[in-house]
Structure 1
Amino acid sequence: MVLSVSIFASLAPYLVSALLLLVLIEQLSYLVKKRNLPGPLFVPPIIGNAVSLVRDPTSFWYKQSDTAGTSRGLSANYLIGKFIIYIRDTELSHQIFSNVRLDAFHPLGHPFGKQLFGDHSLIYLFGEDHKSVRRHLAPNFTPKALATYSDIQQLVMLRHLRQWEESFSGGSKPVSMRDLVRELNLETSQTVFVGPYLDKEAKNTFRTDYNLFNVGSMALPINLPGFAFSKARRAVMNLEETLASCAGKSKTRMAKGEEPTCLIDFWMHAIVTEIESGNPPPVHSEDEAIGGLLFDFLFAAQDASTSSLLWAVAFLESDPEVLSKVREEVVKIWSPESGKLITADQLAQMKYTRAVAREVVRYRPPATMYPK
């Protein structure tokens, strides 16, 4: 025992020196990559600024955004071994997202995204794989498909609006809209993507897993049992398994020649048609891969859309003149008593309402940052 202590005592200076050298190399590496970009001059060793990110993510990213505004729309930071660049310049973002070469910038979606999102994620597909998947997603966005999604969204929204009206009519206290809109948007996303393939029990499980994913995405990446990040990883795997099952059920329906009723149907119809034509299966057309890609859709649609809807409500409530013009435009083509849904052609006529929606997204972008 005495010998062990003696050996440790003799090695301690070397261990401390090695640790200090690693910290110095880490800081120099950060500063070399950062160069003249705005950002912290010193970052805590190893973990970087992850603690402040987890403690208050909103303030962390607002500060990062403000810093980027001082120099070409870019700022730098360091999170648990990863050098990140924050970009708030629209044109530069467009250039990066349009570049899917293997030797270009790789979007992460999250500082620890590859651990969190799994192997079958569109975020991490590049080159020909990326182009192939995008090409086979095209049938999801034809006029017929978009009209189908519009009908689904309206039916879900009208049901929720009626429930809100019944629950809060006559009340005088303000009502928090955040959870209400989030629930509305979660059901809208689920129904648009995989409509008839999720029963009530699956939807409830889906909601629980997605909440675990959200909590874990803001936690330190400690992948040990009981920690939020570990629970989030398991939740993502559960969600992808559920969505993979939906893909398999949809393929069976589409092979029977039935009409598409949601996004996954249009997607699987295109795959089934291609295979029946004698062509090889498209890249990443296995049920498991499609489950991962569908989760990307859900992730992209859920909180971003909720944010935009909430900002739209807040802005319209604060500007009665704009709200009046939106209502006037809607009344010209639709009323709740009509029992009908707004058609795609009617939506195209709502130019003022569309301009308001675009202004909400411009003024309060739903996804203001993207780690690189």
Structure 2
Amino acid sequence: MRRALTVALNGPRGINPQVGAVLLSPDGRVLAEGWHRGASTPHAEVDALSRLAQGQARGATAVVTLEPCNHTGRTGPCAEALIEAGVARVVYAIPDPGDHSSGGGDRLRAAGVDVEAGLLAGEATHLLDSWLTVQRLGRPHVTVKWAQSLDGRAAASDGSSQWITGPEARADVHRRRALADAIVAGTGTVLADDPALTARDASGSLLEHQPQPVVLGVRRVPDDAAVRRHPLPLLQYSGDDLAAVLADLRGRGVQRVFVEGGPTLASAFVRAGLVDEVLAYVAPVLLGGDRLSLGDVGVATIGDARRLDVASVERLGDDLLVIASPRPAPRAAPVTAGRGRQEEEGDD
């Protein structure tokens, strides 16, 4: 199974999960390996089977990182392919979470195939953490970040905000940007601060992984804006419907979104109930004034307060980083069920 997890990393990270498969002979020899190479390509099990001559997989064991799918989309169901190939045993790490694509284990058992689930489930879950989160939420995971003074201000009265926090906190932000698939800012922030929306090291050099730059708002981003020099092309949306923006980003393979577009945008995501994680960088400085780190988030009375569960409080130089997640609220926007290990577009 660890070998299957390793070969899974050969596949692209995006709309579909990274899945690996290893086929073993009855005496334990490796017959073939396979992985999913992206939308419209064979899934890992079928990729491995394609490397064998007809009949060579009869009696074999298939070791797969994710439950073989039971769905016909752009490709056929892997469970059926394994049955037709004569595979005698299937071992998989974690179940497929999709409403339409799950059930492959049951289909294999019904055909007389010996099935074992749960081998190295923790390691497989770690590999597919972001993809599994998207399946659970029905949209990308959203982190909202802001930096603030101890009295909750995002800027001084004249609008200046660079820098509230120190170099250690700013370095942490860049590290977390590099873990995201997309970074989102509003046009107000882009026009006022001219951010590059890149992930950089202490010397200012670009880190290896860069998030997709996304700007929300109808005002035009100037041709000479720093974000136009981002290594990835800029995506711009009106921002009127945040759920629709997230849906489009999901369709582009975005699994983790990093929002740091200023108080207006942060407040909009909080108000819409589309925040899964809050990163609040708190500097030991007092600014006063009305430049709050958050604006209206739909709280009219204390009973409507949006409660958070604090995961950790970290010290970064002189600053503090509070990491928290919103507690589920009955009035939160409904979440679409995950579609699982089917092809995400044009499969029905």
TM range, smaller chain: under 0.3
Q: Choose between structure 1 and 2: higher helix proportion.
A: 1
Greater Rg, structure 1 or structure 2?
1
TM-score norm. by structure 1 comes to 0.22
TM-score norm. by structure 2 comes to 0.23
Q: Choose between structure 1 and 2: higher strand proportion.
A: 2
